């Protein structure tokens, strides 16, 4: 059985040209080589295929029965290879039906998806989006199963590029009728309040409860939840307060009748970045998606994409 590695691909190109032109001199002129070089290539092909391939007749070269059967799949393979080597290097969102998978938290879905999907309707109507959580994030991004990740993701390091979108901070969120809804909240006020706490495993927020306790807040933890998205529903009808990001507070306060107050504890600002694997750094579709995210959500003037951390 002959393997592809046993044959010079240029000989297949030569075979295709001889089959179509039926004249060795014309093939030589087309390839910019001498006729003896074409004859030598044909001789090599005959030895490899164990067939004469072309017979001389009074009307010129005529393919053998084997060559006639061989040519269609060879010609089609060469055509596909030629197209593959000249794939377009750009991305046209207006005419693409590309499916993108983006890792983000429930906060990210609230903050990013409304504006993102609206913009896609305008400039990329056939593009579709799937959001996933960050389980096994590094491997799935390495394999290309996740195109982009957005959020507070400290676990992504070597092999990934990142770009800053914005900084956010923690605030206290509560219903408008809450006793602490107006005025400054003191440490004592915060300590004595009823708390809902978010323990968002797998995100940069997953140690929030530990941080509160480390600051000396031994508050009664009335409710513990795994997702931020539930918090506005719960506190809108109770006297609990919850520590959330200002972005979530901004997105939900008016709709749920809530008030966000400055947090009495000093937390470091939280960098919200987008991340992508270096394998796809120059992929036109990935570049477009990153550019769209930056255009919609970046709050800094830095237009340069970040290097690997």
CA distance 44 to 123: 54
* The predicted structure's pLDDT at residue 303: 47
8 A C-beta contact, residue 243 and residue 212: yes
CA distance 148 to 279: 12
Cross-strand pairs, 275: 149, 162
* Among the ranges given (8-22, 129-143, 198-212), the one the predictor scored with the smallest mean pLDDT: 198-212
| Backbone torsions φ then ψ of 245, nearest 5 degrees | -80, 155
Confidence of residue 224 (pLDDT cuts 50, 70, 90): confident
pLDDT (tens digit per residue) in 58-67: 888 999 999 9
Domain boundaries along the sequence of the chain: 4-85, 93-167+272-297, 170-262
4-85: in CATH 1.10.3720.10: no
CA distance 95 to 91: 9
- Average pLDDT of 41-67? 91
- Residue keyed to tokens 């004469």: 52
* The predicted structure's pLDDT at residue 304: 45
For the chain, what is the mean pLDDT? Answer: 88
Cα distances (Å, whole numbers) of residue 191 to 87, 137, 253, 266: 62, 36, 23, 15
pLDDT (tens digit per residue) in 59-88: 889 999 999 999 999 999 998 888 777 666
Superfamily of domain 170-262 in the CATH hierarchy: Periplasmic binding protein-like II (3.40.190.10)
170-262 matches 4-85 in CATH topology: no
Instruction: Say what percent of the chain tops pLDDT 90.
Output: 62
Residues in Cβ contact with 207 at an 8 Å cutoff, skipping those fewer than 6 apart? none
- Average pLDDT of 269-280? 93
Write out the two tokens for 230.
């539930």
Q: Which helix (H) or strand (E) holds 138?
A: helix 137-142
CA distance 189 to 195: 11
Residues in Cβ contact with 88 at an 8 Å cutoff, skipping those fewer than 6 apart? none
Of the options 3.30.930.10, 3.10.450.50, 3.40.50.720, 3.40.190.10, the CATH number for the domain spanning 93-167+272-297: 3.40.190.10
Write out the two tokens for 13.
């190109």
Mean pLDDT is highest, among 16-25, 88-97, 221-230, 300-309, for 16-25
pLDDT (tens digit per residue) in 179-204: 999 888 998 898 888 888 887 766 66
Q: Which helix (H) or strand (E) holds 191?
A: helix 187-192
């Amino acid at each position: 059985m002959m393997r592809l590695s046993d044959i010079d691909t240029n000989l297949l190109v030569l075979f295709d040209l001889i089959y179509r032109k039926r004249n060795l001199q014309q093939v030589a002129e087309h390839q910019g080589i001498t006729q003896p070089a074409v004859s030598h290539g044909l001789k090599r092909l005959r030895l490899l295929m164990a067939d004469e391939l072309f017979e001389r007749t009074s009307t010129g070269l005529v393919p053998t029965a084997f060559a006639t059967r061989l040519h269609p799949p060879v010609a089609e393979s060469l055509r596909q290879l030629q197209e593959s080597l000249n794939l377009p290097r750009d991305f046209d969102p207006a005419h693409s039906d590309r499916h993108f998978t983006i890792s983000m938290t429930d906060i990210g879905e609230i903050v990013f998806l409304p504006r993102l999907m609206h913009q896609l309707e305008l400039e990329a109507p056939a593009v579709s989006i799937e959001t996933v959580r960050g389980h096994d994030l590094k491997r799935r991004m390495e394999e290309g199963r996740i195109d982009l990740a957005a959020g507070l993701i400290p676990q992504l390091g070597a092999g990934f590029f990142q770009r800053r979108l914005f900084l956010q901070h923690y605030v206290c969120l509560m219903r408008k009728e809450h006793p602490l809804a107006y005025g400054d909240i003191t440490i004592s006020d915060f300590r004595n309040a009823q708390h809902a706490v978010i323990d968002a495993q797998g995100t940069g927020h997953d140690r929030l409860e530990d941080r509160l306790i480390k600051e000396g807040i031994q508050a009664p933890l009335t409710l513990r939840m795994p997702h931020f998205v539930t918090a506005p529903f719960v506190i809108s009808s109770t006297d609990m307060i919850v520590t959330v990001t200002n972005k979530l507070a901004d997105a939900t306060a008016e709709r749920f009748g809530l008030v966000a107050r400055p947090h009495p504890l000093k937390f470091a600002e939280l960098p919200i970045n987008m991340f992508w694997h270096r394998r796809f750094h120059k992929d036109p579709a990935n570049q477009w998606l990153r550019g769209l995210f930056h255009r919609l959500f970046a709050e800094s003037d830095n237009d340069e994409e970040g290097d690997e951390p």
